[in-house]
Chains A and B, each alone.
Chain A
């Protein structure tokens, strides 16, 4: 743990300007992951810039295009329990509430949720190499105890998984991420925000140095009628996913007009297969078709010594969650998925 300065700014441009003078500074909103990483000596910021009080980051509001904007500094709990999120984007509400604990959701910010780092135990252990922590040092997970690790999109350098639940729903909903940096504002499609490890596993996402997430935009279409978030884990609650699935369907009778399926706990980013979603278009919503879609999603999945169970688990979860999405009201709050 190092010491650091604590800085505040009156607005977003001033906060970003501070990073120019303090290139090793970090923004802090909720701090639930950042301060934990700092205690583990995994981040060593020279300064923390408090963005939690900035008004432009603190709003939840309707957009002119029919969508809805989530301020980056808004708390996860305030987002999940917002009446519009509950009614128009219930998949997002369920996914947020499946993550962390009530206390952490009261603290953690929406922007910070996107920037969580992996919970790979080798990443946290300074006694062993880790390409994400020390680039080029090696990866003990590949030959080690890799039960929680990736089955899709991994590289020789890294098999870590991204831990967020909220982001699995945001991937399925095709949210956009608005960021501001010293060179101005830009907007990223959700699928372009996080990255696969490749040769640079130290990079979790495509933010540039000094860039700040200001908001997350949900499109108008929220799939409020047919949706489900299924999270499979070692405890009933307060544990990271081994496999999670966010399913959103637009139905015409028994026929699928549009399907979105995103997986968590299986890759370095929320995992989607546009090919599988296209396959489901116009098909009957039934176990057989969800199974066929699962085979497309999991094509190329690679199991290692301790995580190969995830391939079958993911297939069954995709099928089960597809069926659950047909009747979301049957999912009682707090209901546990039967394994």
Chain B
């Protein structure tokens, strides 16, 4: 067995076969136990829509929806998500075009560079399905795990409020 100085325990070189249902499609891959869900999506499955920001759970750029809940893919082991159903930014548009939330982001200038946007979208969809936020203040609080360094936060909250209130501006 090859030895890698970065990986001092050779027994850890074993891989696990996992299956993920991503955006409605089954994917199977062999991964080592320490591969994050984020790296699995990006590097193993070529789903690069999900972004790596801090890789430490501080920025929210890697947010995906896993079995209906928004989570941070950078702090999830892919091997622990075997059998899970995952939605990434690539899976949120509808057959007829953009998801209303994507359109709302455009309507409200809710991004500039766009790097945080996939995480913002997935997080906002999670927020909407959780149903715990009614006021703008509550939406802000429950979106605090997604940072935007361009400062588009006001537009992001505007966009979420538009979709939450059924398409009307608040």
Q: Which DSSP category, helix, strand, loop or mixed, fits chain B's interface?
A: mixed
B117 touches A (CB below 8 Å): no
Contact status A335-B137, CB under 8 Å: yes
Given A5-B14, A103-B70, check contact A81 B34 (CB 8 Å). Answer: no
B12-A81 in contact (CB<8A):
no
A102 adjacent to B130 (CB under 8 Å): yes
Question: B14, B36, B138: which contacts A333 (Cβ < 8 A)?
Answer: B138
Does B77 touch A at the CB level, under 8 Å?
A: yes
Which residues of A313-339 are within 8 A (CB) of B?
Answer: 332-335
Give chain A residues whose Cβ lies under 8 Å from the Cβ of B33: 3-6, 48
Contact string against B for A residues 106-142, beta-carbon threshold 8 Å, 1 for contact and 0 otherwise: 1100000000000000000000000000000000000
Known: A39-B56, A102-B130, A237-B141. A6 touches B79 (CB 8 A): yes
Pairwise interchain contact A3-B9, C-beta atoms closer than 8 A: yes
Please give, as numbers and ranges, the residues of chain A lying within 8 Å of B137 by CB-CB distance.
332-335
Select A36's contact among B56, B63, B123, B138, beta carbons within 8 Å: B56
Task: Judge whether B75 is part of the interface by a CB distance below 8 angstroms.
Answer: yes
Is the beta-carbon distance between A39 and B55 smaller than 8 angstroms? Answer: yes
**Would you call B161 an interface residue if the criterion is a C-beta within 8 Å of the partner chain's C-beta atoms?**
no
A36 to B6, CA, bound (A): 17
Question: What is the interface of chain A mostly: helix, strand, loop, or mixed?
Answer: loop
Question: Does A70 lie at the interface of the complex (its beta carbon under 8 Å from any beta carbon of B)?
Answer: no
Residues of B within 8 A of A32 (CB): 57, 72, 75
- Provide the bound-state CA to CA distance between A38 and B36, in Å: 12
Interchain CB contact under 8 A, B56 and A5: no
Q: Is the CB of B6 within 8 A of A1?
A: yes
Q: Which residues of B contact A28 (CB under 8 A)?
A: 77, 80
Are B13 and A36 closer than 8 Å at their CB atoms? no
Does A67 touch B at the CB level, under 8 Å?
A: no
Q: Which of A32-74 contact B (CB under 8 A)?
A: 32, 35-36, 38-40, 46, 48, 50, 52
Q: For window 21-70 of chain B, which residues contact chain A by CB distance below 8 Å?
A: 32-34, 36, 55-57, 60, 63, 69-70
Binding site for B on A (CB under 8 A): 1-6, 28, 31-32, 35-36, 38-40, 46, 48, 50, 52, 77, 81, 100-104, 106-107, 235-238, 332-335
3 shortest A-B CB distances, which residue pairs?
A101-B145, A3-B12, A6-B33
